[in-house]
Amino acid sequence: MRTEESKIRVLLVDDHELFRQGVGAILGKAPGIAVVGEAENGKVAIERASAVRPDVVLMDINMPVCGGLEATRAIKQQNPEVKILILTVSGAEESLFEAVKNGASGYVLKNANPSAVMESIRRVYLGEPVIPSDLAMHIITEFSTPKQEKTPPPVDALTDRELEVLRKLSTGATNRDIASALFISENTVRNHVRNILEKLHLNNRVQAAAFALREGYAESENAE
């Protein structure tokens, strides 16, 4: 089992070597974080992810040979436990929407200060999304649209407690919010969220929130 002292293993993916060196140097000094590999394009990233099994991948979007979207999709299919954090120059890129749909946990701007990058890495490692509300609502709207050709996930597989957590996720609540509302620990919340995603065959919390809205499991506005 992973101890609290273990470092978060990060794979850094960007086609600019100087950028990788700069970010790598910063993360190398960050407490609790270790850069375990680098890749100059998505094709190499897919191979490295399977080889080094990182906890978090910092993934550029626009790269030659194989872009970040394709790499994100492939890595999540091969290693669903890996968290992917998109590197981007702008939070307005439409590709960010597709990246999160493909399993990315959010994004961080390339010009963000080092502390923000490190905090984002720690958040996605703990299962927290790093997605602004407008992008989250865009994704929720997309996933809330019924798709008749797909078989509904097995909701009956969820425990009563997991259903409670799912309803909280529909409101955008953080792990801390859920823990406080249900009088359980944040670690227990993380375990429940992981189980919910596995049982419902979903990639992230935003998709879980969308599922709750679509299937009628969203928390009532009058709920305490």
pLDDT in tens, 179-197: 999 999 989 998 999 899 8
Q: Are 10 and 27 in contact (CB under 8 A)?
A: yes
Q: Is residue 50 part of a domain?
A: yes
Residue 172: left if φ>0, alpha if ψ -120 to 50, beta else—which one? left
Q: Is residue 68 part of a domain?
A: yes
Q: Is residue 182 part of a domain?
A: yes
Per-residue confidence at 96, pLDDT binned at 50, 70, 90?
confident
Domain residue limits at 210:
140-214
User: Which of residues 100, 131, 162 is at a domain's end?
Assistant: 131
- The answer on pLDDT for 221 being more than 80 is no
* pLDDT tens figures, 25-44: 999 889 999 999 999 999 99
Q: Is residue 205 part of a domain?
A: yes
Q: Is residue 220 part of a domain?
A: no
In this structure, the answer to whether residues 122 and 152 fall within a common structural domain is no
In this structure, the answer to whether residues 99 and 23 fall within a common structural domain is yes
Per-residue confidence at 118, pLDDT binned at 50, 70, 90?
very high
- The answer on pLDDT for 224 being more than 60 is no
Q: Are 45 and 13 in contact (CB under 8 A)?
A: yes
In this structure, the answer to whether residues 99 and 24 fall within a common structural domain is yes
If one counts the domains in the chain, the total is 2
Which residues, including other chains, have CB under 8 Å from residue 203's CB and lie 6 or more apart? 76, 80, 102, 103, 197
In this structure, the answer to whether residues 116 and 166 fall within a common structural domain is no
Q: Are 31 and 60 in contact (CB under 8 A)?
A: no
Per-residue confidence at 1, pLDDT binned at 50, 70, 90?
very low
- Which region among 13-22, 93-102, 128-137, 147-156 has the lowest average model confidence (pLDDT)? 147-156
Q: Is residue 223 part of a domain?
A: no
In this structure, the answer to whether residues 70 and 103 fall within a common structural domain is yes
What is the number of other CB atoms lying within 10 angstroms of the CB of residue 85? 22
CATH number at residue 155: 1.10.10.10
In this structure, the answer to whether residues 97 and 70 fall within a common structural domain is yes
> Using CA atoms, how far apart are residues 83 and 164, in angstroms rounded to an integer?
24
CATH number at residue 31: 3.40.50.2300
Q: Is residue 111 part of a domain?
A: yes
In this structure, the answer to whether residues 100 and 162 fall within a common structural domain is no
pLDDT for 4 equals: 41
What integer is the mean pLDDT of 196-206?
A: 84
